[in-house]
Amino acid sequence: MRKSLLLFSTALLAACKINMPVSDDGRVVSLSGARDCGPGETCEFDVSDTFFEETFTAVPGAGQVFLGWRKRDRGLCGGTAAPCELSTSAFAGDAALAGLLASDETFFLQPVFAPTGGPSFNVRYCEVLIGRAVDDGFEAEVWGSQSLNDCPEAKVRALDPVAIARENDAEWANINGPRYWVIDNLQLTSIPPGFRAPEDIRREFGGIEMRLITSVRLSGVQGLLAAGGYQVAEVARGTLFTFVKGRRVYELEDPAGSRYLMQSFSQAVKQRQDITELADLGSRLQLPPGWRFRSYILDEALQLPSVDGIARVVTDNLENTYQLLPEQ
């Protein structure tokens, strides 16, 4: 689909240059062949008249995939993965826009590449948690769309947790998602005593087919669901998450120095959040005093296990979730 340089309302009104930084993991080819940009290069093109017209296609290198054009301030085609078609033809006959083309503004077209990785990476899903009181806290049934569907947007937004709790004779219900995994693989390692193992039991919530994932004990449910996040909840589950070498990861560190790696990001609060903008997530978080966010690329594969059947999980103010990284 053609995109003019009027993309994002007035985002490109002052554009006279396109800056295209390309990592070593791929390249960008132009339809004309005159504006190709190779691995590790940063290319810049002038846009000074109403005759600019070009299509840019991102080409991943061996062992890489193209995730999309990076979402960022003054970014072009951000959040899309289709070839980026740009044109200034819509500027013709508009003296004000023609004058802006002569300014010194710069806009960015940046491809995001990542290792091919495992089957869970960047997979969309959502869950419904149904909680009932037990002697030492809450027990929650966890229903999920994983491996069944991609949790259709309109249907998940229409889910009513109050109605779901009432229909299931439960104290509360929570809609978890839509979410996207940032891990590569998920392995179930154990079922804590007294907890239900996953079964192939299915039902629909608002037209979304889900499978019973597990039944878990939440000793810190108020921390997990608290508005604003940044409180630790203990979730009874035996899991092993794996990140492949070269994967970008996202980390929270609390004031005591404990580190938590993101397991999935959410679109529940920021509906259009996507994986291409997570490297700059720290600028959008409301971090409590003493907390820090950072993002980096792994030099080697990393495993993130729960410990003794307990996963210690932190949720940020955008409902992205992170699991405690055990001391190495």
Kindly report the number of other CB atoms within 10 A of residue 273's CB atom: 22
**pLDDT the model gives residue 2:** 44
The 10s digit of each residue's pLDDT in 274-284 is: 999 999 999 99
Contact 30, 24 (CB under 8 A): no
Q: Is the pLDDT of residue 268 over 80?
A: yes
Higher pLDDT, residue 274 or 224: 274
Q: Is the pLDDT of residue 265 over 70?
A: yes
Q: Is the pLDDT of residue 188 over 90?
A: no
Percentage of the chain lying above the pLDDT 90 cut:
62
What one-letter code names the amino acid at 63? Answer: G
Alpha-carbon span 178 to 197, nearest angstrom? 24
Closest to 315 in 3D by CA, of 282, 243, 266, 267: 266
Contact 231, 220 (CB under 8 A): yes
CA 312 from chain centre, in angstroms, equals 20
Question: What residue segments make up the domains of the chain, in order of their start?
Answer: 15-115, 124-324
Q: Is the pLDDT of residue 45 over 50?
A: yes
Give the model's confidence band at 10: pLDDT under 50 very low, under 70 low, under 90 confident, else very high: very low
Contact 65, 23 (CB under 8 A): no
Q: Hunting for tokens 């980096």 — which residue is that?
A: 296
What one-letter code names the amino acid at 154? Answer: A
The 10s digit of each residue's pLDDT in 277-308 is: 999 999 999 999 999 999 999 999 999 999 88
Give the mean model confidence (pLDDT) for residues 55-71.
96
DSSP 194-218: TSPPP---EEEETTEEEEEEEEEEE
How does the average pLDDT of the chain come out, rounded? 86
The region of weakest confidence among 226-240, 253-267, 303-317 is 226-240
